[in-house]
Amino acid sequence: MITNLTVFYPGEPGTYSIRRVSEALLHRLPSNIHIQEYVLPGKDASIRSIIKNILFVWKHRNVKGYNYLTIQSYNILGLLGCKTIITVHDLNPVYGILGRKDNYFKKKIVYFFWIYLPIMLACKITCVSNYTKKQCHDYVCHKDMKVVYNMLHSSFENIPRNKKYNSLCKKKNILIVGTSKQKNIETLFHAIRGINIHLHIIGHLSDQQVRLLNDIEYTNYVNLDDESVCRVYKESDIVVFISISEGFGMPILEAQSTGCVLLCSNVEPMNEIAGEGALYVDPFSVDSVKKGLMTLLEEENLCNDLIKKGYENLSRFNPSKIVSDFLLLFQ
């Protein structure tokens, strides 16, 4: 049985969510497991940062116990000869690079150091969804991998599951979480024009996104702590998560745990994670998103049924079960 674990978190901007979901798991491990946590010093993909990170990992590696890279990367080169676990969260950003008409040599380097090498050298591999596991098998190899789902942050636990949807309220609060390109929020902006709602947006908005919101009533939140994020969820009626590319999709579970009605993309892995607790739409179609949203605004019974099924879906992501799945890696 494992007694000590050394954990390495990525240090690049935009990787906070990786650390957040990893900490939710690691901080629930049995108290007899000693955990040493490090954040990598390199902040970008420059040669200097890469070398700095590899040397940092080598210096702090756990020779006797296990090492845990919370995201697959070249940093496994600093752990050669050590027992190492990696978690693959999402291969989509790397595939985005591979799909560009860039230098052939550059694409080969990205594939080798960010996908192939860490997966081949790790002694244990976890994936956050069956969709991500399938990606690894399709594009790398059929090496044994275990699906260990993400779990909710503690701020989303112990919330009373008694929320009801009230269609009589004239103006609904619609929430979207995340503003990056794959979140596909511009499609929602076009879909809600002329609909009497108030839009709540968590995340930094680009100048172009602000321009698209010109005639839409909205509130924007940035740099919120976990408790404040949870509060915004609880004050919302509907969460719209029409992302076109994810490895898991934490807003799905956060919406369901806070009793929000969920409008969700009908693509993997969103349908895997949300189960029956969402109304699905085509994220590439403004008409489909608008029709789905109008359905939720008008059909109270459907909304309450989706809230109920959302609560039921959360049992698949029970923290104790997820911890047990993770600990099985060490047997």
211-267 confidence digits (pLDDT tens): 999 999 999 999 999 999 999 999 999 999 999 999 999 999 999 999 999 999 999
Of 163, 207, 209, 170, give the one whose Cα is nearest residue 189: 209
Beta bridge partners of 279: 263
* DSSP state at residue 205: P
- pLDDT at position 152, please? 93
* DSSP state at residue 288: H
Q: Which stretches within the chain are classed as H helix?
A: 16-26, 47-60, 92-98, 104-111, 117-121, 130-139, 185-191, 207-212, 226-234, 250-257, 270-274, 286-298, 300-313, 319-327
pTM of the prediction? Answer: 0.93
Class level of CATH domain 154-316: alpha beta
Average pLDDT over residues 150-177: 85
Cα separation values, 150 from 11, 241, 313, Å: 20, 17, 14
Classified as helix, coil or strand, 292 is helix
- What digits encode the pLDDT tens for the residues 36-80? 999 999 988 889 999 999 999 999 999 999 999 998 889 999 999
Asked whether residue 147 carries a pLDDT value surpassing 90, the answer given is yes
What whole-number percentage of the chain has pLDDT above 90? 77
CA distance 161 to 54: 46
Average pLDDT over residues 181-185: 94
Average pLDDT over residues 84-111: 75
**Average pLDDT score, the chain:** 92
When mean pLDDT is compared across 91-100, 152-161, 296-305, 319-328, the lowest value belongs to 91-100
CA distance 317 to 330: 21
- What are 118-121's contacts with CB under 8 Å, separation 24+? 118/69, 118/72, 118/73, 118/74, 118/75, 118/76, 118/86, 119/72, 119/86, 119/88, 119/143, 121/76, 121/79, 121/80, 121/84
Residue scoring higher pLDDT (104 or 196): 196
Class level of CATH domain 4-148: alpha beta
Which segments of the chain belong to CATH 3.40.50.2000? 154-316
All residues at 6 or more sequence positions from 2 whose CB lies less than 8 Å from its CB, including other chains? 33, 65, 66, 327, 330
